[in-house]
Structure 1
């Protein structure tokens, strides 16, 4: 199934990239997603190309009860966002992959960070979500899509609180 989600960040595109590449912020958003365990790895620099890899263990309480048998009591998620270098206005594109370890579910697609005017920025995730489970694939895709949308809403809230409390991320 196709999944497209856009979040809004109340800061300019250059500062938004610095935020997305800030290890403290990334740890905060992963914790806010309900992670039982987490690991964050960031390579590159926000004024160039950078990659953010997160691994998190989440409880399966967001997954409908009749589908939990496919994933167990927790799910291990690996997410990789590889951002290309910025254009002059701070916009950039990249790729995103989300894999659920031990479950045949994968999201792969494109990301885009773009100035939205008035000192705000949009971050869009657009990709294909696939669950290769006979008979239940569509239901698992729907449940996973809702979990991803919820996680990105949490990320948007964390980002807004972070920016309000820390101000725009300083240049590194």
Structure 2
């Protein structure tokens, strides 16, 4: 099944890339998704190409009860976003892969970070979600799509709060907290 989700970030493209590559922010968004356990690894440079890899253990409460036997009491989700260097306008593209360990589900697709005319930035995830359980594939894909959409909606809320919290502050318009 096709899955497309767009997040709106109230900041410019360069600041959005800095945010997406900030390990502290990535930890915060993973925690907000309900992760019981987490691991975050950011490599590269947000001013160039960078890769963000997360692993999180999530409860299976969003998966229909009759399908939980396929995944158990928690699911281990590995997500890799590989972002290419920015174009002159700050836009960038990349790839995204989401795999659920122990479950026959995988999302693979493209990402895009695009500045808008209003000074904000959109981040789009667009890919194919596949389950390889013949009889239950459609139901598993629907459940996984709902979980991924929910996680990305949480990410948008976390990003907005992060941006608001780091935009205010003394003299130079920055807080004394680490910058995204």
Do these two structures clear the TM 0.5 threshold for a shared fold by scoring above it?
yes
Report the Cα offset of residue 134 of structure 1: 1.4
Distance (Å, rounded) in 2 between the aligned partners of 1:151 and 1:116: 23
* TM-score normalised by the chain length of structure 2: 0.93
Report what 1:89 is aligned to.
89
Aligned partner of residue 116 in structure 2, secondary structure: strand
- TM-superposed deviation, 1:170: 4.8
Aligned residue pairs: how many?
A: 171
Residue 45 of structure 2: aligned partner = 45
Instruction: Name the structure 1 match of 2:171.
Output: none
Q: How does 1:73-152 map to 2 (within 5 A)?
A: 73-152=73-152
Q: Please list every run of at least 4 consecutive aligned residues from structure 1 whose deviation after the TM superposition is greater than 4 angstroms.
A: 168-171
| Matches of 1:80 and 1:73, distance apart in 2 | 23
**What does residue 2 of structure 1 align with?**
2
Q: Give CA deviations for 1:28-56 in whole Å, capped at 9, x if unaligned.
A: 00000000000000000100000000000
- Is 1:17 paired with 2:17? yes
CA distance in 2, matches of 1:153, 1:46: 23
Determine the C-alpha separation between the residues in 1 that align with 2:59 and 2:12. Answer: 34
CA contact (8 A) 1:50 1:82 kept: yes
| Partner SS, residue 72 of structure 2 | coil
CA contact (8 A) 2:43 2:52 kept: yes
The answer for unaligned runs of 5 or more in structure 1 is: none
Q: Secondary structure at the match of 1:117?
A: coil
- CA RMSD of superposed structures (Å): 1.2
Larger RCO (CA under 8 A, 6+ residues apart):
1
CA contact (8 A) 1:15 1:170 kept: no
Whether contact under 8 Å (1:84, 1:94) holds in the other structure is: yes
Unaligned runs of 5+ in 2: 168-173
Quick one: distance in 2 between partners of 1:99 and 1:116?
31
Give me the whole-angstrom Cα distance separating, in 1, the residues matched to 2:132 and 2:122: 31
Larger Rg: 2
Q: How does 1:24-63 map to 2 (within 5 A)?
A: 24-63=24-63
1:148-159 correspondence to structure 2 within 5 Å:
148-159=148-159
